[in-house]
Structure formats: structure tokens, C-alpha cells
Amino acid sequence: MSLDKATVRRIATLSRIEVADADLEVVAGQLSGILNWIEQLKEVDTTDVAPMTGGTDLKLQWRPDVVNDGDKMEKVLANAPDGHDGFFGVPKVVE
């Protein structure tokens, strides 16, 4: 499977990663290589295997409905480049 430049540009936009036009060709080649490598999985016969969402036999753990976290606004905001009065500040989102 090989990706064209337009698809790479679209993936980059969706991922919010900046890829310069000059690099699109290279990245397309790299991503295609990864996809081709993964495509080898298709060679395995999975006719009688139910689809899985994970690779373990574990059961999903449930937590009780108990409040035991939160109340740490300062820690939550510690790495925010632009905190104001307990809020995260971000560039204005105009609707």
C-alpha cells in the first residue's frame, strides 16, 4: 500500500503536525513502508478467529463510584503555558 502526497498532507492536518511540502514525498515513502510491513498480518488465516480489541485474556476492571481524585487545580495547570484564574487560556476559538 502506498500513500500519495495529498493523503499525507491530510493526515498531517488531522494530526496537527506540520510537514513542509518539500518533506511530503519522503514522509509518504516512510509511512507506506510502515503500512506495507503491517500488511503482512493479512497473510495470517483468521477465518475462525473472532475479532479482538486487545491481545490479552484480561477482563475490564470496574471502579466503584467513589470520588477520590481531583481538587488539584494547581497541579493540573502546572504545565499550562497560559493559565488564568484557574482556567487554561487558549487562542480565541470563534464559533
Partner 1 sequence: MGYIIKGEKHNWELVIGLEVHAQVISKAKLFSGSSTDFGGGPNTQVSFIDAGMPGMLPVLNGHAVEQAVKTGLGLKAKINRRSVFARKNYFYADMPQGYQISQYDQPIVGEGTLVLDMPDGSLREIGIERLHLEQDAGKSIHDLHPHKSYIDLNRSGIPLMEIVSKPDIRTPEEAGIYLKKLRSILRYLGTCDGNMEEGSMRCDANVSVRPVGSTELRTRCEIKNVNSVRFVMQAIEYEARRQVDCYESGGTVDQETRLYDSNKGETRSMRSKEFAHDYRYFPDPDLLPIEFDEAFVTRLQGALPELPDDKLARFTKDFGLTAYDAGVLVAEKENAEYFEEVAKGCDPKLAANWVITNLFGVLNKRGVEIGDSPVSAKNLGRLIELISDNTISSRMAKEVFEAMVETGKTPDAIVEERGMKQITDTGAIDAAVDKIIAENADKVAQYKSGKVQMLGWFVGQVMKATQGKANPAMCSDALKKKLDA
Q: Which is nearer to partner 1, 10 or 26 (CB)?
A: 10
User: Least separation, in Å, of the C-beta of 35 and partner 1?
Assistant: 15
Distances (CA, A) of 45 to 26, 49, 55, 62, 85: 33, 9, 17, 34, 57
Q: Which of 30, 38, 37 has its CA nearest to residue 12? A: 30
Which residues bind to partner 1, rule: CB under 8 A? 10, 13-14, 16, 53-54, 56, 58-73, 75-77, 82, 84-95
Q: Which is nearer to partner 1, 22 or 93 (CB)?
A: 93
